[in-house]
């Protein structure tokens, strides 16, 4: 005789309880994340609101999130005032644009070399290069200042552009992404007679858009907001970048907060544009470059 094994039936009540528990957990988590997001965005909303006020309304309590009167002339004073904010803006655009372009190019080539070109001591050189990330940037300020002083580059934009053309992190990021590409692509290129440069430029580089965009956003954000290096290496006001130029609104008898906030809002626009346009590839690049938690 065949033995009939009874099949245990799942209690529908327990399933419903599990679904309800999961639903409530999602709702609670959503509320928490939403609350944290609001707390993080409040300073930006205050900055935008303050840029349309007068100084006497800045520290009103409770906070007037919507100004009683919108003073659009604050932006006019920033861009057409006595302080050359337009020049600070142009200096930041020039320095950041050149530095980011050079950084993308050198990091892509170095990452490709460390990932796909076999040469003696490749792994040792990469680890040695990567170990320099442990050196705090502040430690290099004095040697860098002495070096640039000997090269007559102090108080020039070259002192800010040249060090930014080569970054350890950029090389690491690109190397991680190039390592994920199958070697069959390179072998197919060699069969067609492609050398290292053609393989890099026509085969591998077009496939690294997510990594390139990720590095672009991170590098652009860093150099656009850099305060320490321009503060030490620049002296003439006509050479100042936006972070240093904002000090122009700190006056002898106080700070002109409304103009400073208007200038800060103007400085935030390029960052928002870059992040919004490149967000899709940025997420993909982080997920596929070995940087996941």
Rg (CA), the chain: 27
230: helix, strand or coil: helix
- The reported pLDDT for the residue numbered 211 is 86
pLDDT value, residue 240: 92
pLDDT of residue 224: 93
Q: How far apart are CA 183 and CA 126, in angstroms?
A: 20
> Nearest 5°: phi and psi at 227?
-115, -40
Q: Give mean pLDDT in consecutive 10-residue pieces for the chain, a chain of 293 residues.
A: 51 71 86 90 88 83 83 87 86 94 93 87 88 85 91 92 90 88 79 78 83 89 91 90 87 76 90 83 58 41
Q: What is the pLDDT of residue 284?
A: 62
What does the pLDDT read at residue 147? 92
Whether residue 100 contacts residue 167, with contact meaning beta carbons closer than 8 Å, is answered with no
Look up the pTM and report it: 0.80
Task: Transcribe 98-110 into DSSP letters.
Answer: HHHHHHHHHHHHH
pLDDT of residue 210: 84
């Amino acid at each position: 005789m065949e033995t009939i094994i009874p099949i245990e039936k799942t209690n529908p009540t327990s399933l419903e309880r599990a679904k309800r528990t999961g639903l409530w957990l999602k709702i609670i988590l959503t509320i928490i994340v939403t609350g944290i997001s609001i707390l993080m965005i409040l300073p930006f909303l205050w900055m935008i609101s303050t840029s349309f006020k007068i100084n006497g309304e800045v520290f009103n309590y409770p906070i007037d999130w919507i100004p009683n009167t919108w003073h659009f002339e604050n932006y006019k004073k920033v861009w057409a005032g006595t302080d050359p904010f337009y020049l600070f803006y142009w200096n930041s655009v020039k320095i950041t644009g050149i530095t980011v372009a050079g950084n993308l190019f050198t990091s892509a080539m170095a990452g490709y070399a460390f990932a796909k070109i076999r040469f003696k001591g490749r792994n040792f050189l990469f680890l040695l290069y990567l170990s320099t990330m442990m050196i705090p940037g502040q430690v290099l300020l004095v040697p860098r200042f002495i070096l640039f002083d000997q090269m007559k580059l102090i108080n020039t934009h070259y002192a800010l552009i040249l060090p930014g053309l080569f970054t350890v992190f950029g090389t690491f990021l690109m190397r991680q992404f190039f390592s994920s590409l199958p070697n069959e692509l390179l072998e197919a290129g060699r069969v067609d007679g492609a050398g290292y440069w053609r393989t890099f430029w026509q085969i591998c580089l077009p496939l690294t858009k997510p990594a390139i965009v990720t590095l672009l956003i991170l590098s652009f954000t860093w150099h656009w907001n850099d305060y320490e290096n321009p503060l030490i290496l620049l002296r003439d006001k006509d050479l100042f970048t936006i972070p240093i130029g904002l000090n122009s609104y700190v006056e002898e008898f106080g700070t002109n907060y409304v103009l400073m906030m208007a200038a800060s809002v103007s400085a935030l626009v390029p960052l928002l544009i870059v992040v919004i346009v490149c967000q899709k590839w940025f997420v993909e690049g982080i997920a596929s470059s070995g940087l996941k938690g």
